C-alpha cells in the first residue's frame, strides 16, 4: 500500500473574486461465467454509479454558483460591522493545531449594508471558524459546523441592539449533495452479483438441473461448467486442481483468502478509493480503511512463512539451503521495489540522485528475511515427538521457540529506546507528533521525531518520501517516509505475530476449536495491550496508533484485528466450508504479480480512462472499482491456467 501517489494533490485551494482571495487547505462456475459476471460489473458500475453527479437546485437562483471541487463547499461571509474582520479556520481532525488564516472581510459600506467575500472550505471534517477584529485580538465569535460537499452557505455577521455584541448566523443557501450515495449503489451492485452467484451455485447442485443442462448442452464443456469449483462452498479437490482444499497438512484456503482480501483492498485504495478521505491514509494518528491492509498483508506473510518452512523441513530440506532461498527472495523483493515500481521516470529509471530507497516491497523483503531467519533458527523438524505430559505442553507453540521470542523482544526494546531516548536536534525526546502546525506550532521541523531523523541522517532527504500524508492537514515541512528504517522493526514484530498464528495451526492441526480459541485469546490479549498504550483515545495515549510511524500500538491493534479476521475466515472457509474464498482467493494465490502489475499498469486502460467530470466521487469510484475488479478477473484466469508468479 503505497502513500507516495496519494497525497500529491492538496485540497481546498482558494476561490478568487473581485475583492479578496481566500485560501483554505484541507486539505463458476466457469471461466465463461466469470468473464460474463465481470462484464456485468463494469456495465452496472458505469451505468448506475458514474451518472450520480447531479446537484440539487439552488434555493437562491440569483446567487452565482461557485465552481467547487471534491470535498469542498462554498462559504460567503457577509459583514455588516463597521470594521473589517479576519477569518481563521481549524479542522476538528487536526490535533492541537493553530488556527489558519482564511481571509479578510472588509467593513460594511454603510448601516445595514454587508460587505461580501466568497471562500472555499473543506467538507471532509467539521471545522471551527473564528472571526476576529482586524484592529486587535478581540474575538467576535466562533462557529463550529460540518459543511457538506458542494453545499453553498452564508455566514452573516451583524451588530445586535447592544453594539458590544455580535451575532454570527450560518444559513444554508444550497443543500449539499450526498457524496456517499455512490458507495451505497456500488455495494448493492456487488452484493446483488454475489447473491446471484450463490443462488446459481445452489441451483446447480440439484440433480434435476444438472441433468437438464447436460441434456441441453450434451458437451464436455457443459459438464465442466457444472462441476466447476468456483464459488462452491462444498467442493472437493479435483485431480487437476493446483491447490488442495482445506487441511493444515496442505495449503489452507483461508490464508490465501485473507491475503487476497488485503490485496484487493490495497489495490482499490492505491488506485484512489473513489477519492474519499476514509479510503486514504490517516494524516497522522488514527486509522482509516487504507491503514489496515498493509499490516494485514505482513501478518499473513508471517503465517505463510511458518507453514511453508515447516513443510520444507519435514521434506528433508536443509536449513542452510532454505536460508539461501530466503535471502535470494528478499533481495528480489527489494530490487523490484527500487527498480520497477519506484523509479522517477521523468529523470530516467536510474536517477540515483532522487531515487527513493524505502518502499512497500523493500519493507516486505526486509521483514521476510528477518522473520524467516528467526523461524529457521528455532523451527522443529518434527512436532509429533513432544512429550504430552510436560508442564509446558499447553504452551508449546510459544515456549518451544523462546530464543526467537527473546530476539523479537530485544528488537522491540531497541525501537522503544530509539523512539523515546534518541536525542533529536531542536526536538523534545520521545516526540511522536507530525510537526508543522501540530502541537501549536512549537516543533515545525520535528515530523516523526526519531524515526524521521534517522531516515534523514541515514538515507538523506533526497532518498526518502517527500510528501507524507501529514503535509496536507498539518502542513509538515520536512520529508518523512512511512516505510522508513525505524518502522521496519515493528514490521518484523507484526510478521512474527503472524508467524505465531502459523505455529498455532501447526501444533493444533485439525483441532479446529482449539485453533480458533487460541486465535481469540491472542486477539483479546493484543486488544488489551492496545487499550493500555492508547488509553482508548486517538491522540492522548502513551503511544497513539500511527501508521506513519508503525507505532507499537498500531502493531498490537492491527494484529488484534488480524487474529479476529483470520478466525472468521478460517471458520467459514476451512472449518464449515460455507465459503470457498472466491473471489479473494485468486488474487491471494498471485499476490506479487497483482501488486506489481497494478503499480506498473496503473495509467493504462482499462485501469484508468479520461473522465467527463474529474471532480466527481462517483466517477472516480466507478473507475477504481472497475480497475480492481479487472485484477481479480486476471488473477482468476491465471489460476485457471495454473500460472503463479513465485519469487
Active site residues: 281
**Tally of CA atoms within 13 A in the half-sphere of 595 that contains its CB:** 29
Helices first, then strands: H and E counts in the chain: 18, 8
User: Is residue 103 within 8 Å of residue 89, measured between CB atoms?
Assistant: no
Residue 74 has φ and ψ, to the nearest 5°, of: -100, 130
Q: What contacts 24+ positions apart, CB below 8 Å, involve 637-646? A: 637/31, 638/586, 638/590, 638/593, 639/242, 639/586, 639/589, 639/590, 640/31, 642/242, 643/590, 644/242, 644/589, 644/590, 644/593, 645/590, 645/592, 645/593, 646/592
- Give the distance from CA 160 to its chain's centroid: 49
Q: What's the rounded Cα separation, in Å, for the pair 63 and 33?
A: 53
3-class SS of residue 634 = helix
DSSP 8-state code for residue 285:
B
Q: What's the rounded Cα separation, in Å, for the pair 493 and 558?
A: 12
- Paired strand residues for 139: 132
**Tally of CA atoms within 13 A in the half-sphere of 590 that contains its CB:** 24
Alpha-helical (H) ranges within 125-206 are 181-204
Q: How distant, in Å, are the alpha carbons of 271, 358, 455 from that of 294?
A: 15, 15, 20
Q: What's the rounded Cα separation, in Å, for the pair 590 and 259?
A: 10
Residue 224 has φ and ψ, to the nearest 5°, of: -65, -35
- Paired strand residues for 75: 119, 153
Amino acid at each position: 500500500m503505497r502513500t507516495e501517489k496519494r497525497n500529491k494533490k492538496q485540497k481546498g485551494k482558494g476561490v478568487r473574486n473581485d475583492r479578496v482571495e481566500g485560501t483554505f487547505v484541507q486539505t463458476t462456475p466457469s471461466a465463461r461465467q466469470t468473464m460474463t459476471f465481470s462484464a456485468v460489473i463494469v456495465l452496472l458500475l458505469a451505468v448506475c454509479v458514474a451518472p450520480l453527479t447531479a446537484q440539487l437546485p439552488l434555493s437562491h437562483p440569483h446567487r452565482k454558483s461557485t465552481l467547487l471541487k471534491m470535498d469542498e463547499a462554498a462559504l460567503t461571509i457577509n459583514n455588516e460591522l463597521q470594521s473589517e474582520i479576519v477569518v481563521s479556520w481549524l479542522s476538528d481532525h487536526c490535533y492541537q493545531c493553530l488556527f489558519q488564516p482564511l481571509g479578510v472581510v472588509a467593513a460594511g459600506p454603510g448601516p445595514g449594508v454587508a460587505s461580501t467575500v466568497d471562500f472555499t472550505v473543506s467538507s471532509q471534517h467539521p471545522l471551527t471558524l473564528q472571526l476576529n477584529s482586524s484592529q486587535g485580538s478581540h474575538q467576535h465569535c466562533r462557529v463550529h459546523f460540518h459543511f457538506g460537499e458542494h453545499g453553498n452557505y452564508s455566514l452573516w455577521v451583524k451588530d445586535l441592539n447592544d453594539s458590544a455584541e455580535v451575532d454570527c448566523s450560518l444559513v444554508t443557501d444550497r443543500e449539499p449533495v450526498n457524496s456517499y450515495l455512490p458507495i451505497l449503489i456500488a455495494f448493492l451492485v456487488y452484493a446483488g452479483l454475489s447473491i446471484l452467484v450463490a443462488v446459481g451455485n445452489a441451483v446447480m447442485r440439484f440433480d434435476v438441473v444438472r441433468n437438464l443442462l447436460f441434456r441441453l448442452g450434451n458437451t464436455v464443456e457443459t459438464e465442466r461448467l457444472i462441476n466447476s469449483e468456483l464459488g462452491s462452498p462444498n467442493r472437493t479437490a479435483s485431480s487437476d486442481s493446483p491447490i488442495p482444499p482445506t487441511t493444515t497438512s496442505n495449503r489452507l484456503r483461508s490464508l490465501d483468502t485473507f491475503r487476497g482480501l488485503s490485496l484487493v483492498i490495497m489495490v482499490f485504495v492505491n488506485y484512489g478509493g473513489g477519492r474519499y478521505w476514509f479510503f486514504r491514509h490517516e494524516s497522522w494518528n488514527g486509522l482509516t480503511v487504507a491503514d489496515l491492509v498493509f499490516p494485514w498483508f505482513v501478518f499473513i506473510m508471517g503465517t505463510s512463512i511458518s507453514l511453508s518452512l515447516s513443510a520444507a523441513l519435514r521434506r528433508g530440506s536443509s536449513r542452510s539451503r532454505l536460508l539461501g532461498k530466503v535471502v535470494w527472495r528478499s533481495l528480489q523483493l527489494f530490487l523490484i521495489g527500487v527498480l520497477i515500481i519506484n523509479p522517477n521516470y521523468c529523470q530516467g529509471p536510474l536517477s540515483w540522485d532522487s531515487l527513493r530507497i524505502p518502499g512497500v516491497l523493500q519493507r516486505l523483503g526486509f521483514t521476510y528475511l528477518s522473520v524467516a531467519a528467526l523461524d529457521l533458527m528455532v523451527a522443529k523438524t518434527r512436532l509429533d515427538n513432544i512429550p504430552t505430559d510436560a508442564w509446558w505442553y499447553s504452551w508449546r507453540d510459544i515456549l518451544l521457540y523462546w530464543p526467537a521470542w527473546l530476539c523479537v523482544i530485544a528488537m522491540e526494546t531497541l525501537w522503544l529506546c530509539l523512539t523515546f531516548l534518541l536525542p533529536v536536534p531542536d526536538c523534545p525526546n520521545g516526540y511522536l507528533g507530525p510537526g508543522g502546525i501540530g502541537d501549536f506550532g512549537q516543533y515545525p521541523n520535528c515530523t516523526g521525531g526519531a524515526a524521521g531523523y534517522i531516515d534523514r541522517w541515514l538515507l538523506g532527504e533526497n532518498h526518502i518520501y517527500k510528501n507524507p500524508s501529514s503535509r496536507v492537514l498539518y502542513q509538515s515541512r520536512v520529508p518523512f517516509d512511512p516505510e522508513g528504517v525505524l518502522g521496519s522493526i515493528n514490521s518484523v514484530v507484526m510478521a512474527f505475530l503472524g508467524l505465531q498464528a502459523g505455529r498455532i495451526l501447526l501444533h493444533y492441526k485439525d483441532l479446529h476449536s482449539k485453533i480458533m480459541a487460541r486465535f481469540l485469546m491472542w486477539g483479546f490479549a493484543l486488544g488489551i495491550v492496545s487499550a493500555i498504550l492508547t488509553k482508548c483515545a486517538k491522540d492522548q495515549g502513551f503511544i497513539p496508533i500511527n501508521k506513519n510511524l508503525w507505532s507499537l500500538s498500531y502493531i498490537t491493534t492491527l494484529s488484534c484485528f488480524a487474529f479476529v479476521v483470520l478466525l472468521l475466515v478460517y471458520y467459514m472457509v476451512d472449518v464449515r466450508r460455507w465459503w470457498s474464498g472466491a473471489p479473494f482467493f485468486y488474487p491471494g494465490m498471485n499476490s506479487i504479480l497483482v501488486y506489481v502489475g497494478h503499480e506498473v499498469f496503473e495509467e493504462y486502460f482499462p485501469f484508468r480512462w479520461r473522465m467527463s467530470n474529474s471532480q466527481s466521487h462517483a466517477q472516480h469510484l466507478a473507475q477504481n472499482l472497475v480497475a480492481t475488479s479487472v485484477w481479480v478477473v486476471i488473477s482468476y484466469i491465471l489460476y485457471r491456467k495454473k500460472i503463479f508468479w513465485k519469487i
